[in-house]
Amino acid sequence: MDENFLLQTETARILYHEHAKNMPIIDYHCHLEPKMIAEDYRFRSITELWLGGDHYKWRAERTNGIDEKYITGDASDWEKFEKWAETVPYTLRNPLYHWTHLELKTAFGISKPLNPISAKEIYDACNEKLATKEFSARGLMRHYHVEIVCTTDDPADTLEYHKAIKASGFEIKVLPTWRPDKAMAVGNSKSYRAYIERLSKVSGVNISTYNDLIEALRKRQEYFALQGCKLADHGINYFPWAICSTAETNQLFQRILDGKALNSEEIEKLQTSLLLDFARMNAEKGWVQQFHYGAQRNNNTIMFNALGPDTGYDSILSYNCSQSMARFLDTLNTESRLTKTILYNLNPTDNAVVATMLGNFQDGSFPGKIQFGSGWWFNDQIDGMEKQMNDLSLLGLLSRFVGMLTDSRSFLSYPRHEYFRRVLCNLLGNDIENGLIPESEMPRVYQMVEDISYNNAKNYFNF
């Protein structure tokens, strides 16, 4: 994994080293804890920093036959690290192998492969550096030349840590992102009513009707905007589409407040109304809205009951929602309330669907107004990134792409930006050397690499 890792041609090397490598990082979608940034958290060990919430690694360990005690259980930090080191040699051809060693090299300067023989030496070397102030949460962000981070936050969040970060004078912007998923989770009336109570308290609105809910959310949106929020994010299994009247929407919402369960058809009706209203609110604020769809979550009931969500038991959903997606976007567009939008599909078979959907709603108001989001989750590896960029190139304009994000809970995930930039430069370098892009266009390609790495996101989000 030398300086030319993934760069197969001389042209690719020029593109990366001279035009991508040193561009700042805009991580416009992540799941970092703002509290850790506000407090400039110091990590007790590489295990906490690296393995504490990484369900990618957890899935690989389980597949390798590692007992849960050494993954999410009560084993010591060293024992957990040792089991990960045992697993790494078995991850060849899995992106985890590349990510692991890229992170060790870029953060800690360690070039040795991680395995049972090198484990203790690497563990001690990492922990020695983590004991210094340069390797705190903020230190790692500085190390990776991060300029802006957008976290993922619930409307009921106080954003107290975002305020503290700003007040501290920290030079890296840490902005909230509006994620009202819990306000759409109407499938469980008990937990939903508990959330409504929380939202009511923080907004100061007594939520007894659907209109009250929207009013409360508008107030919270205004609060988020005052804290610098410019993006909304919506995690959905698929785009719901079951239009119902205003009266029926109100009735369905009232039934939940009364403690009654909705059937699947009624859930889809209420979620359709909610998602449309959320998108209208995003347009009113002028925010970029992101839609992440296609995950089938919490498949293992035993482990969900034991560990909760986001612990490595999710998979790709196979469901065709192209028609409902089109109707959703068209409704907003017809109302002149379709704001800048990024669509992320988890199922790679939807790549062409999403890539062609963009062109239906580009209106000339802004370059790349409707975006095909980067390879997400199971697709944020070489094959997934190349497929996403190839489909976008064939069916849209790769030059207007807003590029990569980490979508991570780890302060060591920033090398994913480097990984992506190397893949991008290699794609373009191969095209140039194969005669698919003329050498006379090299200045345009240089600009294209810089734009996708940084400039497009900077301009698109108006940072």
Structure confidence by residue, pLDDT tens digits, 6-29: 999 999 999 999 999 999 999 999
Q: Does residue 32 contact residue 155 with C-beta atoms inside 8 Å?
A: no
Percent of the residues in the chain that have a pLDDT greater than 90, as a whole number:
100
pLDDT at 1 over 90: no
CA angle in degrees (0–180, nearest 5) for 462-176-23:
50
From the list 176, 164, 167, 187, the residue with the least C-alpha distance to 30 is 176
- What is the overall mean pLDDT for the chain? 97
> What's the average model confidence in pLDDT over 398-402?
98
How many alpha carbons fall within 13 Å on the CB side of residue 169?
A: 0
> What's the average model confidence in pLDDT over 431-458?
97
What are the tokens at 373?
């989001």
What is the SS3 assignment for the chain? CCCCCCCCCHHHHHHHHHHHCCCCEEECCCCCCHHHHHCCCCCCCHHHHHHCCCHHHHHHHHHCCCCHHHCCCCCCHHHHHHHHHHHHHHHCCCHHHHHHHHHHHHHHCCCCCCCCCCHHHHHHHHHHHHCCHHHCHHHHHHHCCEEEEECCECCCCCCHHHHHHHHHCCCCEEECEECCHHHHCCCCHHHHHHHHHHHHHHHCCCCCCHHHHHHHHHHHHHHHHHCCCCEEEEEECCCCCCCCCHHHHHHHHHHHHCCCCCCHHHHHHHHHHHHHHHHHHHHHHCCEEEEEECEECCCCHHHHHHHCCCCCCCEECCCCCHHHHHHHHHHHHHCCCCCCEEEEECCHHHHHHHHHHHHHCCCCCCCCCEEECCCCHHHCCHHHHHHHHHHHHHHCCHHHCCCCCCCCCCCCCCHHHHHHHHHHHHHHHHHHHCCCCCHHHHHHHHHHHHHHHHHHHHHHCCC
Reported pTM: 0.97
Structural domains of the chain, with CATH: 10-460 (3.20.20.140)
How many alpha carbons fall within 13 Å on the CB side of residue 186?
A: 28
User: How many Å apart are CA 8 and CA 427, to the nearest integer?
Assistant: 9
Q: Is the dihedral of CA 324, 325, 327, 331 positive or negative?
A: positive
pLDDT at 260 over 90: yes
> What's the average model confidence in pLDDT over 21-42?
98
Model confidence at 187, pLDDT cuts 50, 70, 90, reads very high
Residues 6+ apart with CB under 8 A from 74: none
Specify burial of residue 128 (Cβ count, 10 A radius: 0-12, 13-18, 19+).
exposed
What are the tokens at 57?
């690694």
Q: Are strands 25-27 and 146-150 parallel, antiparallel or unpaired?
A: parallel
> What's the average model confidence in pLDDT over 431-460?
97
Structure confidence by residue, pLDDT tens digits, 334-358: 999 999 999 999 999 999 999 999 9
From the list 87, 100, 31, 80, the residue with the least C-alpha distance to 59 is 87
Cα 439 to Cα 238, 243, 372, 393, 432, distances in angstroms: 43, 52, 28, 19, 6
pLDDT at 363 over 90: yes
User: How many Å apart are CA 362 and CA 138, to the nearest integer?
Assistant: 38
> What's the average model confidence in pLDDT over 235-254?
97
Model confidence at 179, pLDDT cuts 50, 70, 90, reads very high
State the pLDDT at residue 377.
96
Residues 6+ apart with CB under 8 A from 37: 137, 138, 141, 149, 161, 165, 170, 174
User: How many Å apart are CA 349 and CA 322, to the nearest integer?
Assistant: 12
User: How many Å apart are CA 213 and CA 202, to the nearest integer?
Assistant: 12
User: How many Å apart are CA 429 and CA 422, to the nearest integer?
Assistant: 10
Specify burial of residue 117 (Cβ count, 10 A radius: 0-12, 13-18, 19+).
exposed
User: How many Å apart are CA 361 and CA 336, to the nearest integer?
Assistant: 11
Radius of gyration for the chain, computed over Cα atoms and rounded to the nearest angstrom:
23
Percent of the residues in the chain that have a pLDDT greater than 70, as a whole number:
100
State the pLDDT at residue 68.
98
Length of the chain: 463
Structure confidence by residue, pLDDT tens digits, 274-290: 999 999 999 999 999 99
pLDDT at 232 over 90: yes
> What's the average model confidence in pLDDT over 123-135?
97
